[in-house]
Amino acid sequence: MPFEERRGGRAQFVDLLAVDLLDEGLSGLCVLVTGGSRGSGTAAARRFAAAGAKALTASRGAPPEDLPATFIPADLATEQGVAELCLTWTGLCPPIPRDT
């Protein structure tokens, strides 16, 4: 499951399953975890934050107060909820530059 990361102004894809996040470090990256209010979503948000990423989590319910992530209330079961999340997320994370 690849994700795009920015290192030195260049975008590249990284396979999350092949990366030890705590060893690699994700400083400077912005990560959005949907369903981050409990369970595996909360665990993923904690791990990304521990690795240095700016962690954002979106869900209908609030996450635990000690979660080191920015919470974005969102109902992703509706088109409007997805659109609102996209607008909020893009305002919180800088765009990844594209090579032309």
Domain that residue 55 falls in:
25-92
Amino acid at residue number 63? P
Residue 11 belongs to some domain of the structure: no
User: What is the count of structural domains for the chain?
Assistant: 1
Distance in Å from the first CA to the final CA of the chain: 25
pLDDT tens by residue, the chain, 100 residues? 444 444 554 445 555 545 555 555 788 788 899 988 889 889 889 988 988 889 999 999 999 999 999 999 999 999 999 999 988 988 888 776 666 5
SS3 call for 41? helix
72-97: burial string, b at 16+ Cβ within 10 Å, e else: bebeeeeeeeeebbeebbeeeeeeee
Question: What are the backbone angles phi and psi of residue 33, rounded to the nearest 5°?
Answer: -110, 120
Residue 20 belongs to some domain of the structure: no
Residue 15 belongs to some domain of the structure: no
Q: What's residue 23's pLDDT?
A: 54
Residue 100 belongs to some domain of the structure: no
Residue 76 belongs to some domain of the structure: yes
Residue 33 belongs to some domain of the structure: yes
Residue with tokens 């690849």: 2
